[in-house]
Structure 1
Amino acid sequence: MRLILTSALLVKTVMIVVIAQGDLPPVSENCLKCICDTVTGCDPNFGCIDGYVCGPFRITKPYWIDGGNNTINGEAIDSPTAFENCVTDYNCAVQTVQGYMANWGQDCNGDGVINCYDHGAIHQLGRYGCNGQLPEKFLNTFSQCHGQA
């Protein structure tokens, strides 16, 4: 009897943890727009700089990989053009940012919540450096926008 109660309690605890993790909000559309506007003015024609940072979100290949290796039109992830084709396409780039934040979202400023500020800091400074100092130009532009996000 005790084993059954312990098992039931364990199952209930696991279910609560899974439900809580599944409820983590994705990056809001407004926040995505703020990140995009801040890094490139959300320029749909922003290509690649030296083949390294690409698209309206200025995504690197390691970021794209961590964000889920998203592709468009069924392109194979190992195609030499998969990275660039995805991150220069707004919708695919958004999927990449959402995937990256789902994997690496964290409270960067220690205020106890993961919100748009944290997503911007992670996007700009990376998953390991997001508690660092944001560049002043990024911070000023992003702060003006994300106050409404």
Structure 2
Amino acid sequence: MHTHTHTRYQQHCTMSSTLCLLLAVLVATTTAELTDECLYCMCYASSNGCVMPDPTCRNDGWGELCGPWAITEPYWEDGGHLLGDYYKCTKDWECNEKTVRHYMEKYVKDPTATCEKYARTHVGGPWGSDADYTLEYWWEVEDCLDHGLYTRPTTTTPHRTTTAPTNEGY
């Protein structure tokens, strides 16, 4: 009887250790989700209201920024070089959004990442997300979140305003 109890105890310990190991692996491979609110407030801060800029690209002195999330060509490449053409992608709402989502999936691996981490990575890159120069951008995103300025992106044409596509596809 004593041996049977000891064997059951060993089985329980082995099973508990296995579950703990699986849980640790799961946590280590899980990343925080980039919420729509955060993503669209990043767009809001990047394009003064989350609108498709006209013209689509502008030069800020550091280089060319295109689309409603103000992405650069290297950012687009890291985000999966969708549609195979930087300028074509930056003129397309869904491609812009997917590029940002892919970029974030690639570089933000912290399972406890907050919107601040995503926003500062967006503007500072994977190695500049803690730099002081990213704070002003984060404060604009935070202001959008705090004051309910979050809206789904819209495209404006002379005749109508339409909601941009959702994040499905690609």
* Max Rg structure: 2
Quote the residue 2:140 is aligned against: 141
How do 1:1-149 and structure 2 match up within 5 A? 13=21, 17=25, 19-20=26-27, 23-41=30-48, 42-46=50-54, 47-50=56-59, 52-71=64-83, 77=84, 82-106=85-109, 113-134=112-133, 137-147=136-146
Structure 2 CA distance for partners of 1:22 and 1:146, relative to 1, 3 Å: farther
Quote the residue 2:9 is aligned against: none
Structure 2 CA distance for partners of 1:22 and 1:86, relative to 1, 3 Å: farther
In structure 2, C-alpha distance between the alignment counterparts of 1:97 and 1:28, rounded to whole Å:
12
* Structure with bigger RCO (C-alpha 8 Å, 6+ apart): 2
The aligned length equals: 128
Q: CA RMSD in A?
A: 3.0
In structure 2, C-alpha distance between the alignment counterparts of 1:26 and 1:16, rounded to whole Å:
18
In structure 1, C-alpha distance between the alignment counterparts of 2:51 and 2:131, rounded to whole Å:
27
Q: For residue 53 of structure 1, give the secondary structure of its aligned residue in structure 2.
A: strand
Q: CA deviation at 1:53?
A: 1.2
Q: State the TM-score, normalized to the length of structure 2.
A: 0.62
Q: Which amino acid aligns with 1:60?
A: T
Q: State the TM-score, normalized to the length of structure 1.
A: 0.70
Q: CA deviation at 1:49?
A: 1.6
In structure 2, C-alpha distance between the alignment counterparts of 1:45 and 1:103, rounded to whole Å:
26
Contact persistence 2:120–2:135 (CA under 8 A):
no
Question: Percent same amino acid at aligned positions?
Answer: 25
Q: Which amino acid aligns with 1:30?
A: E
Q: Which amino acid aligns with 1:129?
A: G
Q: Which amino acid aligns with 2:45?
A: T
* Residues 28-74 of structure 1, C-alpha deviations (whole Å, 9 max, x = no match): 11011110000112121340125821000000111011111112xxx
Unaligned runs of 5+ in 2: 1-16, 151-170
In structure 2, C-alpha distance between the alignment counterparts of 1:136 and 1:123, rounded to whole Å:
12
* Residues 88-121 of structure 1, C-alpha deviations (whole Å, 9 max, x = no match): 21211111111111111156xxxx8311101100
Q: CA deviation at 1:23?
A: 3.6
